[in-house]
């Protein structure tokens, strides 16, 4: 464990995840209790469940009525839903009864997640955005080059309007709940108003401040002689609100946000929030994975060796990236969580009190919660620190990569971002994994990523990597599948039928291609071996 000073322990008590502790979410109290041996925070009376495939809804209805519950949402396409109990019901007894009923695969509390706070554009040109271009400007100082090296990347591509990404956060500045309102976030062709999943009754208007800041990092209107620059100048953004005016969301709002964004057609989802693990949260992650959607998530601001969920799912799902934070000296930010799950890092600032050594971006141009002490963000533009900010930079980079190759899979995007990162900070990067415990593969480098991506090409079906697709590749794949032979490099080269698994089907497909004028080779997307 890294040593922490007394002042940082004190800051941790008040930093982001614990200081804003509202009593309600969507009109219901948020409570604390113990579930499966762990302390949790959950929405009073809310139960999330997944029906068994053979369960009839009528049987569930009879069970609900007998337990004093009513169906509030679902079942949806994942066979999941939400129940509401009466205020007098014991949620944990109801959970035990439902889990033992034989009707559901799981039932669990609706646990709380928290937002992690945290060209020619005026503030870029005047050095405020050191994370885009750090030349050692004072303030904040730091090491020249301790940035994401995006200015050179913009010469390759500043982004494309053909790329659509999703942001699950607290919203975007709106006037009367309908009209884009911020001078740097007012292009209706780019910013798509999505679903109000926090159900605060004001569309996706941001009354917290966090979502606006993250959005500006990713995709503020750039090269418009005003304001700040975003990582991607041209991509389109779907704004789904999953956090309310106090930065509170739930595992259900996360799940619903992922479903909505994936079905809308996004390629990348930014979720700058997190909390505990749950079956409902993992089901959403798996759904995004099955639809080839990259999920970029923040590790957390807990000053500790612990990665929050859904970021922690990066261990098991190759479409998930867990992001930690660096400061202007290319070191792990003191507030940032870290651990073996980290994929990469990006600048996140130094921490409270927020100032010039933190991340400067857009903020709502009307009063919001984060204008108040102890955060005191300024209207229109201001400084915030956190792994949320780092998360937005990685999402912006993924969007730039899709602008030069729209067919990259979620797994390939993660691989390119990780392999092109800079191993900074003088941490131990282990040879076996290429990762450090603090920064994963390192701090992202946008220019290197786009250069790496430009050469990230290979002949699909060329399993032995000799530059030709021949019978030798059939032999190579048979040896791999059935005789413990070496794997194709990259693995996707061994998936010519592009079904995201290397199986006998690929042998048949390649045979038909070589000898029977079969279908042409396709882009593969597998990152793991399947039999």
- What residues are annotated to the active site? 169, 210, 388
Question: Which parts of 187-340 fold into alpha helices (H)?
Answer: 210-219, 251-264, 279-290
43: Cβ contacts below 8 Å, ≥ 6 apart = 25, 26, 28, 29, 30, 31, 109, 110, 111, 112, 250
CB 376 within 8 Å of CB 354? yes
Cis check: omega of the bond before 10, within 30 degrees of 0: no
Could you list the beta-strand ranges (E) of 348-435.
359-362, 381-384
Residue 440 pairs with which residues in a beta bridge? 436
CB 266 within 8 Å of CB 165? yes
DSSP letter, residue 422: B
391: Cβ contacts below 8 Å, ≥ 6 apart = 116, 214, 270, 271, 272, 296, 297, 298, 323, 346
Cβ atoms < 10 Å from Cβ of 277: 16
CB 425 within 8 Å of CB 438? yes
Rounded to whole angstroms, the Cα distance separating 36 from 398 reads 37
Residue 286 pairs with which residues in a beta bridge? none
């Amino acid at each position: 464990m890294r040593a922490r000073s007394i002042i940082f322990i004190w800051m941790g008590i008040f930093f982001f995840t614990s200081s804003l502790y509202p009593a309600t979410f969507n009109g219901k109290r948020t409570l604390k209790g113990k579930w499966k041996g762990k302390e949790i925070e959950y929405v009073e009376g809310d139960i999330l469940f997944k029906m068994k495939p053979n369960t009839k809804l009528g049987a569930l209805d009879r069970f609900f009525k007998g337990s004093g519950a009513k169906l509030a949402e679902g079942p949806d396409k994942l066979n999941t839903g939400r129940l509401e109990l009466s205020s007098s019901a014991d949620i944990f007894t109801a959970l035990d009864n439902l889990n033992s009923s034989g009707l559901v695969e799981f039932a669990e509390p609706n646990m709380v997640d928290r937002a992690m706070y945290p060209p020619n554009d005026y503030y870029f040109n005047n050095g405020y955005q050191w994370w885009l271009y750090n030349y050692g400007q004072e303030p904040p100082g730091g090491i020249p080059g301790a940035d994401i090296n995006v200015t050179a990347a913009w010469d390759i591509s500043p982004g494309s309007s053909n790329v659509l990404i999703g942001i699950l956060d607290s919203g975007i500045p709106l006037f009367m709940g309908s009209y884009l309102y911020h001078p740097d976030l007012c292009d209706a062709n780019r910013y798509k108003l999505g679903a109000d999943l926090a159900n605060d009754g004001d569309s996706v208007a941001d009354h917290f401040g966090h979502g606006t800041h993250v959005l500006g990092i990713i995709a503020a209107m750039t090269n418009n002689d005003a304001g700040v620059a975003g990582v991607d100048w041209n991509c389109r953004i779907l704004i789904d609100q999953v956090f309310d005016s106090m930065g509170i969301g739930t595992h259900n709002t996360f799940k619903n946000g992922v479903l909505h964004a994936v079905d809308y057609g996004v390629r990348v989802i930014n979720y700058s929030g997190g909390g505990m693990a749950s079956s409902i949260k993992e089901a959403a992650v798996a759904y995004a994975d099955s639809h080839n959607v990259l999920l970029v998530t923040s590790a957390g601001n807990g000053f500790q060796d612990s990665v929050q969920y859904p970021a922690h799912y990066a261990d098991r799902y190759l479409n998930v990236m867990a992001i930690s934070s660096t400061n202007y000296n290319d070191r792990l930010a003191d507030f940032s969580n870290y651990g073996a799950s980290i994929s990469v890092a990006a600048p996140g600032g130094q921490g409270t009190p927020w100032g010039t050594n933190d991340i400067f971006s857009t903020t709502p141009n009307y009063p919001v919660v984060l204008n108040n002490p102890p955060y005191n963000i300024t209207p229109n533009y201001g400084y915030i620190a956190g792994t949320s900010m780092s998360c937005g930079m990685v999402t912006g980079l993924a969007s730039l990569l899709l602008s030069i190759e729209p067919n990259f899979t979620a797994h390939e995007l993660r691989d390119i971002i990780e392999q092109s990162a800079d191993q900074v900070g003088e941490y131990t990067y282990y040879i076996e994994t290429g990762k450090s415990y603090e920064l994963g593969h390192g701090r992202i480098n946008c220019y290197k990523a786009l250069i790496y991506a430009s050469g990230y090409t290979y002949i699909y079906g060329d399993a032995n990597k000799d530059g030709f697709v021949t019978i030798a590749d059939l032999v190579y794949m048979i040896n791999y599948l059935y005789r413990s032979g070496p794997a194709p490099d990259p693995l996707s080269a061994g998936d010519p039928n592009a079904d995201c698994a290397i199986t006998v089907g690929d042998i048949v497909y390649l045979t038909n291609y070589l000898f029977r004028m079969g279908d042409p080779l396709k882009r593969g997307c597998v990152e793991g071996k399947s039999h």
